[in-house]
Copies of this chain bind each other. A is one copy, B any other.
Amino acid sequence: MVRPVPHPTPDAVSDAPLRAFVGYQMKRAFNAVQADLGRTLEPFGLRMLTYSALALIVENPGLRPSQLAQALAVERANVVVYVDQLEEAGWVTRAPAPGDRRAYALRCTLAGRRLYARAQKAVQAHDDRLLSGLSADEAAIVRKALAQMEQRT
């Protein structure tokens, strides 16, 4: 049997014990960045992962879906969904992969490359805002810290 709690409902919820963690600050910052990126890409009919997939296919013509999955750190099944979306929009084509009849190679169409070029400019402007107000030295420290977190943890 559970007694009614003696405490009133908190008016303002304190997340102080989580706020103290750099990891939690990072999660909150990344959520905000991801939301802003979503708003940036929406007019192009892209989302974070379809944009990333498009960028990797532009940069690596002939890429296999398995390589794309690895580079994006997502499940192979999810990559197929993104590639389907990009193909349906006419931005990416699947072609038989040389030397492996079961695999296929991805490449961008002209429309895909043009869309990517426009979206890339918008993403660059979004990304430039993230560290705006910081000096070049400060921005370099933030980038160094992020690289260290990726490698050390």
Contacts and interface: CB of A to CB of B under 8 A. Distances in A.
Interface of A: 2-5, 7-10, 13-18, 21-37, 52, 55-56, 58-64, 67-68, 70-71, 73, 93-98, 105, 107, 120, 123-124, 126-127, 129-134, 138-139, 141-143, 145-153
A27 to B, nearest CB: 7
A71 to B, nearest CB: 5
Given A26-B146, A153-B36, A13 B70 contact: yes
Given A31-B73, A63-B10, A152-B129, A105 B22 contact: no
Contacts of A61: 5, 7, 10
Contact of A5 (B5, B9, B67, B105): B105
A119 to B, nearest CB: 11
